Amino acid sequence: MDHTPPLESARQATPPALPRRTTRSWLLLPLRLAYGLYAGAVFAACALLALVPLACVPTLPGRRRLVRRVGRTVLGLVGMPVRTHWHGPLPDPCIVVANHCSYLDGVVLCAVLPPRFDFVIKREMDSVPLAAFLLKRIGVQFVTRGNRAGSLRDALRVMRSAAGGRSLAFFPEGTFEVGPTLLRFHTGAFAAAERAGAPVVPLVLRGTRRCLPPGSFLPRPGRIEVRSLPVLVPVAGDGDGAARLRDAARAAILAALDGNEGTQA
């Protein structure tokens, strides 16, 4: 005979309630899917519409100004307004280095930096047909990773560009991870700055990780912030100048992120 009290039997028969956060996430999923489809359609439509002008505009600065306007328009249409906070005018020339949190980061920098900047990105993007065309038309400099000879050749080319007075923009981490981590910085950007005697401007990106998390295909609306930090100037004759610049830039960006290894990005 079952001696379990009726109330206890009812408790055992009732399935446990889902955590409130899990239930809310499931309820919001259709909205996130709808927004993701809308945002993807806006990005694709604007990229396609920009193809003809990019193919026709004869000058590199003109093409970069076009992409800058398109980037700002797209981010505004999908509910990702960008706010900029400049510590002062960007030196001309200079090397800009920014933390890397999301696939949105490149779009954001295109939308906020003056058209004189060359972007330095991994060569893998050269194999993506539409992206490769857009990137080549705005004068992106591709660099090889994992191939010693190719990496050295590309590094020397980038150094010559910096020494020739070109302003360059880097993500010195080279990539980003799913976890909110500020990865170690590679030295290439800082070696170019040291060789050219060009100042380094650290930039802090916030909000892009939340708007498009790594490993996710579902974006979400939100504010994005770009903040420049005080300029770092190479010291002539310093044998470890590139490494010192690298460490100083990473420390400045990490401090601006409240020391949380990028968790607020």
Span 190-208, pLDDT tens digits? 999 999 999 999 999 999 9
Nearest to 87 by CA among 230, 206, 205: 230
Q: Give domain status of residue 14, yes or no.
A: no
Coil/strand/helix, residue 199: coil
User: Which CATH number is 157's domain given?
Assistant: 3.40.1130.10
Q: Give domain status of residue 252, yes or no.
A: yes
Give how many domains the chain has, as a whole number. 1
Which range marks the domain in which residue 80 is found? 42-256
Q: Give domain status of residue 116, yes or no.
A: yes
Question: In 10 A of CB 76, how many CB atoms?
Answer: 13
Strand locations in the chain (E): 82-85, 95-98, 117-122, 141-143, 167-170, 200-206, 224-228
Q: Give domain status of residue 8, yes or no.
A: no
Q: Give domain status of residue 6, yes or no.
A: no
CA angle 227, 232, 238 (to 5 degrees): 160
**pLDDT for the residue numbered 80:** 97
**From CA 27, how far away is CA 37, in angstroms rounded?**
17
pLDDT in tens, the chain (265 residues): 555 555 454 445 555 554 555 666 676 788 889 999 999 999 999 988 998 899 999 999 999 999 999 999 999 999 999 999 999 999 999 999 999 999 999 999 999 999 999 999 888 887 777 788 888 899 999 888 766 666 778 888 898 999 899 999 999 998 888 877 899 999 999 999 999 999 999 999 999 999 999 888 889 999 999 999 999 999 876 678 899 999 999 999 999 997 554 455 5
Task: Report CA dihedral (98, 99, 101, 102) to the nearest 10 degrees.
Answer: 20
**From CA 170, how far away is CA 184, in angstroms rounded?**
14
**pLDDT for the residue numbered 98:** 97
Q: Give domain status of residue 1, yes or no.
A: no
Q: Give domain status of residue 220, yes or no.
A: yes
Q: Give domain status of residue 218, yes or no.
A: yes
Q: pTM for the whole thing? A: 0.84
